[in-house]
Amino acid sequence: MAAKTPCKKCSALCCRNIALPLDKPKSRGDYDDIRWFLTHYNVSVFVEKGDWYINFKTLCRHLNRKTFRCEIYANRPNICRRYKTSKCELTSDTYDYDLHFTNDRQMQEYIKVRFDNMKTPIKRRNRGKNKK
Ligand code: SF4
Ligand code: SF4
């Protein structure tokens, strides 16, 4: 018996984006490059099981917009064939990202916390005390 999938009730979310692996950022400059990606509309970045990905929200030209079926199903690319519909999590509320950035402001905050917060507190606290 075929595994049950929610595809029949889905508008083909899997055919509406491209996710590509990114090198894991190390330096502040690497994170700032990712911030630049995120300044663009329809781009997000997520981390899953420690691996970084960039995601472009863009509709496949072969998706029928009325039926949400693939118009080149017999000739669809291998990446579409390999996608395990029975394990698809795109329609579930429990999609488990380690991190998910949908715009550059979020990344800017993340960079601040990651690279600046460790350095600032002691000096600032001392300065505050001296003023009293
Ligand atoms: S594989 Fe997932 S996203 Fe694609 S049509 Fe099926 S349920 Fe929807
Ligand atoms: S080729 Fe077909 S299965 Fe692949 S993304 Fe496009 S519509 Fe979806």
CA of 58 to the centre of ligand 2 (A): 12
For the beta carbon of residue 91, count every other beta carbon within 10 angstroms: 14
d(CA 17, CA 19): 7
Per-residue model confidence as pLDDT tens digits over 104-115: 999 999 999 999
Closest to 44 in 3D by CA, of 123, 117, 105, 93:
105
Q: Does residue 2 form part of some domain?
A: no
Q: Which ligand is nearest to the CA of 91?
A: 1
CA 27 to chain CA mean position, Å:
20
Q: Which domain holds residue 81?
A: 7-131
Q: Does residue 1 form part of some domain?
A: no
Burial 59-87 (b: 16+ CB within 10 A, else e): ebeebeeeebebeeeeeeeeeeeeeeeee
Residue 90 in contact with ligand 1 by CB distance below 6 A:
yes
Nearest CA to ligand 1 atom 6: 7
Residue 17 in contact with ligand 1 by CB distance below 6 A:
no
Atom of ligand 1 nearest to the CA of 88: 2
CA of 89 to the centre of ligand 1 (A): 8
**Mean pLDDT computed over 20-41:** 98
- Residue 2: pLDDT above 50? no
Q: What is the pLDDT of residue 78?
A: 97
